[in-house]
Structure 1
């Protein structure tokens, strides 16, 4: 298993679902990915930790207040690792982003902030304490990729490069398909997709990809559990994928890795 005990600055390290009814969708994800979903109780705002074989992979949280501008009432958030969340928050504001939640401690876990980039995509910053983030990566049922999907690819590239110093490479043609892969120390960690006219009405956002052993079977399971297929399945050089949503409308991508 691809177990993780830490993440370099700028790497997606945690994903969290905000939803109006955490208890209801917990069953969906348990049925789809085999997660064990444990409500942490009223003391922790009924935050639900999701795990595979005892290893934390994600969380489900009751939605608090209004969602980010343009976001549905239920949505996945991607958190990027940082060794200094306060410095990261200052960099966000200095480069045209907006803090939605200033840096604050999560006792016994770490420190976080939540923000939007200049294009409107919301994301989190996570500074590890005892908890560094997802303990599995790129395994069935765990996060395997993340990307910011935006209306202004150049602005997003500039903002996140200022935040984390990503090495960014255009892997599309820059026109019909505008995609940049972001690396840290030569290792691919996440990416950026420029939306075109086919994305009309969809707000900029970070997309979470979860690995599955069989994409087509996983799509069937999504619909059996009350979710919906948005697009796909389709083949790419990086695997077979499908964009789906849970019963509350939160979108995410299923990915069967090649090989």
Structure 2
């Protein structure tokens, strides 16, 4: 069992990546974030959990050779009942692509998408409660949905997970912060036509780093790409930091951030 505790429904609790070359991917993230790896549940094929200082922070799995799916980080949202949540997702116009299925004794999961096509997972924890460390460099620290219009898809997420949504009141910004039990846990950012055509709506994972510029250079040295060079801005949760948008060698896109005061 991890040191993490069961999350309140709707709270992002895990991030996972399905790739074609699991060994090379472990080398990339091990070098970038200092992760070590241990075997995880094998229900969907080879799968490892990434550890930072012995604490579980992410998962990486192997795609079947005949599955030519986009390689992307997937955000998992906590639920107390994966089957009930999956049915609610269907009733609200979303799709359940995989599951719900048991992941050995770790928990029960499903892979879903919202009405705009953004993919996310749901996780009903049993022995595995999710991310056991968040904050230090090498850990996921925020999750944000990039979509066409935040308010429209926000109704879906509020209905399914019971979020309280805090909008940014501005004619120039389409942004909602999702709250669980009064605290911010994720955000929805409507970017309209600025959404990449080759990706569509998608969840973005932010990983903390000690030095954004150095980490961006290391991404390139390790065979990845820098899609947007480091800039000063807000890390989804509207806290200041230095960020860069990058992709691993298989094309999985993520954001690295040195949070202000971190």
| TM-score normalised by length of structure 2 | 0.90
Moved more, 123-132 or 162-171: 162-171
Quote the Cα distance in structure 1 between the aligned partners of 2:149 and 2:43: 40
Which residue in the other structure is 2:57 paired with?
57
* Structure 2 residue 200 is the aligned partner of structure 1 residue 198: no
3-state DSSP class of the match of 2:172? coil
Q: Which consecutive aligned stretches of 4+ in structure 1 deviate over 6 angstroms post-superposition?
A: 41-44
Quote the Cα distance in structure 2 between the aligned partners of 1:56 and 1:17: 14
Aligned residue pairs total 251
Residues 1:200 and 1:172: Cα distance change in structure 2 (over 3 Å): farther
Which residue in the other structure is 1:128 paired with?
125
Which residue in the other structure is 2:146 paired with?
149
Which residue in the other structure is 1:184 paired with?
180
CA drift at 1:214: 1.2
Which residue in the other structure is 1:99 paired with?
96
Which residue in the other structure is 1:84 paired with?
81
Which residue in the other structure is 2:222 paired with?
225
Q: CA contact under 8 A between 1:14 and 1:58: conserved in structure 2?
A: yes
Quote the Cα distance in structure 1 between the aligned partners of 2:190 and 2:173: 8
Q: CA contact under 8 A between 1:149 and 1:192: conserved in structure 2?
A: yes
Quote the Cα distance in structure 2 between the aligned partners of 1:192 and 1:61: 26
Residues 1:206 and 1:87: Cα distance change in structure 2 (over 3 Å): same
Quote the Cα distance in structure 2 between the aligned partners of 1:187 and 1:122: 24
Q: Which runs of 5+ in 2 are unaligned?
A: none
Quote the Cα distance in structure 2 between the aligned partners of 1:242 and 1:169: 25
Q: CA contact under 8 A between 2:99 and 2:111: conserved in structure 1?
A: yes
Quote the Cα distance in structure 2 between the aligned partners of 1:89 and 1:96: 11
Q: CA contact under 8 A between 1:7 and 1:13: conserved in structure 2?
A: yes
* Structure 2 residue 205 is the aligned partner of structure 1 residue 208: yes
Which residue in the other structure is 1:70 paired with?
none
3-state DSSP class of the match of 1:135? coil
Moved more, 131-140 or 157-166: 131-140
CA drift at 1:150: 0.9
Quote the Cα distance in structure 1 between the aligned partners of 2:200 and 2:43: 33
| TM-score normalised by length of structure 1 | 0.92
Q: CA contact under 8 A between 2:147 and 2:192: conserved in structure 1?
A: no
- What are the superposed Cα offsets for residues 61-116 of structure 1, whole Å, 9 maximum, x if unpaired? 1124343xxxxx31110100011111101110110001101211111200011111
Moved more, 232-241 or 35-44: 35-44
3-state DSSP class of the match of 2:31? helix
CA drift at 1:142: 0.7
Cα RMSD after superposing both structures: 1.7
3-state DSSP class of the match of 1:90? helix
- What are the superposed Cα offsets for residues 145-190 of structure 1, whole Å, 9 maximum, x if unpaired? 00111123222100000011111111262x4321111001110000
Quote the Cα distance in structure 2 between the aligned partners of 1:172 and 1:235: 22
3-state DSSP class of the match of 2:200? coil
